[in-house]
Structures are given as C-alpha cells and as structure tokens.
Chains A and B, each alone.
Chain A
Amino acid sequence: MANTFKTDPIEFKPAAAQPAPSSTVGPVAWIKENLFSSIPNSVVTILVILGLLNVVPGVIDWMFISSTWSGASQDACVSDGACWVFIQAWSQQFFYGSYPSDGLWRVNLSLILLFVVIVLSFTLPANIRLKVSVPLFLVLPFVCIAILDGRLVGLDYVNTDFWGGFSLNVLMAAAAIIVAFPFSFLWALGRRSDMPLARSISVVFIEFFRGVPVLALFFMGSVMLPLFFAEGTNVDKLVRVWIVLIFFMSGYMAEVFRGGFQAIPSGQYEAADSIGLGYWQKTLLIILPQVIKVSMPNILATFVMLFKNTVFLLIIGIPEVLQTLLTALSNSNWLGGHAVEGYVFVGVIFWLCCFGMSMLASSIEKKLDTSHRN
C-alpha cells in the first residue's frame, strides 16, 4: 500500500547571516582592539611609532638609498650612505678566507656534503634513517677535512692557515658538534652510571667544560697547550681549537642528553630489562632512540649557540668571518671606516643562518612530536 500522504519536506532555512558590526572587523577594528584598547596601550603605541619614524628612515636611507653598490675600490665610496663596495670587494675573503681561488670548489663541496647529509637524515625512510645517517654524520667531518686538506685524496695540499671566512665558522661548528655527539652520550651515561669512578670522572669533565667560559678554553687551547707539547711537535692551531670546541660542546650536550634520559619513563627501562636485554642493548636499542627524539630541540638550540660561539675564535687569531672583517678594516687601502657595513653584513648572515636553524628545529619538533603526550 502506497503511502498516500505526500507532503513537502519542511526544510529549515536560516536567514542569511548579517555581516558583523563594522566596529568589530576589518583593519580599523583590529587596530583599535590591539593597539589602542586602553590609554597605556595607546601611549605605548604612539611612542613606538614615533621611535620607529625617527630611526627607520635614516637606516633605510643609509642602507639602500644613499649607499654605494658598485665599484672596485674605496675611491668609489663618495656618498654618505653605506659603502657596500667594501663587502663586495672582500666577499671572497669573508666566505672562503685565503683558500686558493682555484680550490674553492673543495670548500663548496664540503658545505654541500654537509647539507646533503642533514637533509638525508630527515628524508630517508624511517626504517633505515638512523642506520644510514648516523654513520654518514660520523664520517662527514673527516671526509670534509680530507677534501679541504687535500693530501689524503691526492689534491693540492692546502695548509690550515689558508682556511677561513664564514665557511670555516660553519664547518668548525658542524665538525665539533658531530664529533662531540658520541662523546657527550658517553659522558651522560657515565654521569648516570652506578660506578663511582665513571660517575665522578664524568661529573668533573662535564662541570669543568660547562663552568669555564669558552673564551678561557680557547686561550688555553691556543696559548697554554703548545707549551706542554714536546718542542717540535706542533699540533695545528685549528686542530687544537677544534678539540677544545669538541670538549666544550660535549660537556653541554651531555647535560642535554642527561635531561633526555631522565625524560624517558622508567617503564621503558623495566620493560627492556624484563625481556632480558643487556645494558648496551637496552641503551642503544630502546633508550637512545627515544632520548634523541626528546632532546632534538635542545640539541639544535645548543648547536645554534655553538655556531655563534665560533666567532670567538677571532680572539686567538683564527681567520673566521669576524676576524677577516677586522683584518679587512685594517687594510691601508680600506681605512675609510667601513666597520658598520661590515658588522651589519656579518650580523645579517648569522641571523639568516640561526633563524633558518630555528625554523628547522620547530619543524622537526612538530614532525617528531617531542611533547611525549602518549
């Protein structure tokens, strides 16, 4: 039997939404809400705007409008603004130091290798990621040194005196943190160990390298260490400070790792024990992967710190980028006072790199979900 009742379904039709009152949307409302919501807020806003108006036009004028961009020597710098000719003329020195011009590809290759290994460590499939990228990282510093030095791989020998510039900052920081990585892991394990000797040695080491300022460590590396070596056995200055950087870094990273170890729930250790894993199996297979995951943001933050610390190498005369700038400023053909341009330039490249690393760190953080909510 067919249903004889046939009615149109009654549909609920809401009336078209009214636009929000114009006083609560749009730029005007936003400004009112955020910048002029109260009297103190309005005062601060006006003061800040006045301050910016005072400073920004002058800076823009100096940097872009009345600045000099082209030329070959200081004679081109006649305007009142910044003389970017200085940066341009010295750019090779700033990036590569005195490395021979026909060997610059070797520096570039090292930087590219570093970049490739970093990218690989995030993009490889998860099941082989650690197995491939960890050995790659550990081999990388030595491959880079071999390429730059040249003797081992049959290229022209380039003495470390010629290495320099911003590439040296990057490579030094990377080489130091990579080599420091396994050491710091051992120090952290030692500090958590039950063996009194291992524990006290670790504590002393970590606290020494965390407690002494990096400048003092550099001085020790450059001024004190050579006096203790037998005469004639010269350990290269760059190698000495590299070792200092590794120690310094492993002290800091050990504490990062220790924090990571403490963040792992004790259930993980007990579970590993209960299925009969030994100490190293437990540590390497169960605990370490989780520790790395939890500590990743801190590791990157420590790396940014170390990277910025590499400019301190200038106080012992290593020609990194800031030292190169000072050398350039003291050249008698460039005595026209280009310090501000130089410092702005160095500041900008460091800011770009560090900002990039922070972005990377936050994206890793999201990807790895280090919050450990589960």
Chain B
Amino acid sequence: MIKLSSLIVGGLAAGLTLGAQAGTLDDVKKRGTLSCGVSTGLAGFSQKDEKGKWSGLDVDVCRAVAAAVLGDANKVQYKPLTAKERFTALQSGEIDVLSRNTTWTHTRDTSLGLNFAGVVYYDGTGFMVSKKLGVKSAKELDGANACIQAGTSTELAISDYFRENKIKYKPVTFDTSDQTRAGFESGRCDFLTSDQSQLYALRIGLKDPKGAIVLPEVISKEPLGPVVRQGDDQWFNIVKWSLSAMIEGEEQGVTSSNVADKLANGKPGNKRLLGGEGELGKNLGLNPDWAYQVIKQVGNYSESFERNVGSGSPLKISRGLNALWKDGGILYSPAMR
C-alpha cells in the first residue's frame, strides 16, 4: 500500500517536474528568503525554542545555504513538515530544500524525483540498556525484552539483526516515544531500541539518565541529509557544496572566529575555500565569499555539531561515525578546488 501510494506520488511528481523549472537560485534571490523544510520538532536537529527561534543540525544546513546564496544565514523561512508531507512539499515547490532528518535510500533517491545532496549525520538503529544489566554488547541480550516504538523502521531492523545473530528477544511495542521511555523506565523491558540520535534524547528524559548507557552497536544505516528537487543541477550543487564547505572548514581548521584571519593569512587552501583565490563561488553562480559567509555565520561542521547535538548541548552525542575521516569517522568532503 505504501509502495503503491509512493509510486503514485512519485509518478505525479515526475510528471510535474519534467516541465520544470530550473532556476531555484533565481527564485530564492528574488524572494530574498530561503524556504526550508524542517521537522515539527526533533531534539538537536530541528527544534524551536520558547522564543520561536529554530536551531539544530538540520536547521544549520538551511542557514548555511541561506548564507551562501543570500549572504545572510537568518533569511530562512522555516516550514515545519510532517514525515508524510515532506516530499510533496519539495516536489510542489513549496520549499527549496528539505533538511528534515531524511534517510538517504535508493528508493527515495531514484523514484521520487529528488536528489540527496549529501549526508549531515550518519545515524543508525542502536540500543540503550540500563547500567545495572552490565551488558557491554547487543549480542549479550539473549532472551531480553525490547521496548520499541510501533510502526517505525526500527522494528524491522532489530528483527533482522536478532535473526541473523540467532538471538531471541521479546518485543514490547509502544505507541509514542514518551510511552516507550516510560516502559523502559518502569522495567517492562531490558533494553530500548531506536535511532541512536533518538536514544540520547530519550535518555535525557529518564529520571536517572546516568543509569542508562547507549551501546556502541549500530545495526542499520540511516544517513540523514538535505534533499532537493531533481532537474535543477545548479541548485543541487549549491546545497551539496554549502554542506561540504562546513565539513571542509573543519578539516582545514577554519572556524567562525578565525575565518577572517584565515582568509587574509591562511594557507592557499584556506584562501581558495574562502574566496580569496580561485573561482569556486563563480562556478556555483554565487559570490566569491559564499563559503566565508557559511563558516562566519553558521560555523564549520564541528562547531555546529557540538553546539546542537554534541558536548555543547544537553544531548552530548559523541562524534562516532560523524567524525572526520582523519579522526576515525567517515565524514569526507570532496576536494575543494
């Protein structure tokens, strides 16, 4: 049923985008704001505060694109979207870029008339157990009860994983994440499983967050990234390289505080990234200082990560897979030249 409906939606979208519209860049410039699809609320990724201000890792991608294109990271119109309407909103042109913890999958990339412009966060299904259990690896969870949120892809992932490893488990499903957490807390189950980024958020809500640990195993691939419409390669490039500029910024040690200095006195690579040399901006159809503005106003990847989900946030997620390739992670920006 889901497949059928996504086929219909995809077909409709393909029909619409054929007659497309290149020129997202011109539209955004003319409008003066970037219209960015985010979630209706996901801790650390796209969240609103009491003042109505948006922040998060996904939100920073929107801000980076706005900084690169319009020179002002604050010129973003956030459109909170549910999971069901996110692709339609993009296909119909309601938003210019979708940055809403969306997993990059083959089906979505090929059949919905969309392009994934990179990966912001490598997520995956993980496990949280009570410290008292003394478990160090998911393989030791034989015969345990699992708290799972009903109807999520997590259910499939852990059923596959435990079957492969010939481990028995009893699923206890709950309707919402609050109930799942309450179930875990009351001891209905021995471990809780969800996307790793979610586990950290759920852990904070426990009465005793230190009494639970997130196991190192990640059993499914959930690369989350920004999405754009197919058929506008220039815009696709702009989003892709705005994200890459943040990652490259970290790799080159360019931060929001030293960016001016690096532009004036840095290595040739720094100057090329920041627009002092070369034609990177011109090739994208942007100002030479596009990456300078991104790093100046939003920060490099590490700054954004630590501020939103890492050590500077309540979530305290470690870099893990999301560290740079030279620090043991898999984050890698194509060559900036």
Contacts and interface: CB of A to CB of B under 8 A. Distances in A.
Interface of A: 89-90, 92-93, 97-98, 159, 161-162, 219, 222-224, 226-227, 229, 231-232, 234, 237, 314-317, 319, 323, 326-333, 335-337, 339
Contacts of A331: 41, 43, 47-49
Contact of B21 (A159, A232, A314, A328): A232
Kindly state the interface size class of chain B when it binds its partner. Answer: 35 or more
Contacts of A337: 178, 181, 205
Contact of B85 (A98, A317, A336): A317
B52 interface: yes
A223 B16 contact: no
B48 A98 contact: yes
Given A317-B40, A330-B41, A330-B43, A336 B205 contact: yes
Given A93-B50, A332-B47, 10 more contacts: A98-B52, A226-B88, A231-B21, A314-B40, A316-B82, A317-B81, A329-B41, A335-B314, A337-B178, A337-B181
Contacts of A98: 48, 52
Interface in B24-49: 40-44, 47-49
Contacts of A237: 79, 94
B152 interface: no
Given A327-B80, A339-B178, A332 B313 contact: yes
A229 B12 CA distance: 11
B16 A227 contact: yes
Contacts of B77: 159, 161
B91 interface: yes
B52 A97 contact: yes
Contacts of A219: 84
Contacts of B16: 227, 231
8 contacts: A93-B52, A231-B16, A316-B82, A323-B40, A327-B47, A327-B80, A335-B201, A335-B205
B315 interface: yes
B92 A319 contact: no
Nearest to A233: B93
Contacts of A93: 48, 50, 52
Nearest to A73: B50
Contacts of A97: 52
B157 interface: no
Contacts of B19: 231
Contacts of B79: 161, 237
B290 to A, nearest CB: 26
A162 B77 CA distance: 10
B74 to A, nearest CB: 14
A90 B48 CA distance: 11
Contact of B93 (A90, A223, A234): A234
Contacts of A224: 88
Decide if the interface of chain A is mainly helix, strand, loop or mixed: helix
B84 A223 contact: yes
B47 A330 contact: yes
B229 to A, nearest CB: 10
B49 A333 contact: yes
Contacts of A330: 41-43, 47, 201
Interface in B137-175: none
A326 B9 CA distance: 28
A53 B84 CA distance: 45
B29 to A, nearest CB: 15
A314 B40 CA distance: 9
B189 interface: no
B250 to A, nearest CB: 22
A294 B49 CA distance: 48
Nearest to B88: A223
Interface in B259-301: none
Contacts of B330: none
B122 interface: no
Contact of A332 (B50, B85, B201): B201
B40 A234 contact: no
Contact of B92 (A234, A317, A327, A329): A234
Contacts of B20: 231
A227 B88 contact: yes
Interface in B84-107: 84-85, 88-89, 91-94
B245 interface: no
Contact of B82 (A161, A231, A315, A329): A315
A40 to B, nearest CB: 37
A32 to B, nearest CB: 44
Contacts of B94: 226, 234, 237
Contacts of B85: 222-223, 316-317
B215 interface: no
Contacts of A319: 40, 80
B82 A336 contact: no
B336 interface: no
B78 interface: yes
Contacts of B43: 330-332, 335
Nearest to B48: A327
Given A227-B9, A316-B82, A327-B40, A332 B48 contact: no
Contacts of A326: 40-41
A332 B314 contact: yes
B95 to A, nearest CB: 10
A89 to B, nearest CB: 5
B204 interface: yes
A317 B205 CA distance: 24
Nearest to B314: A332
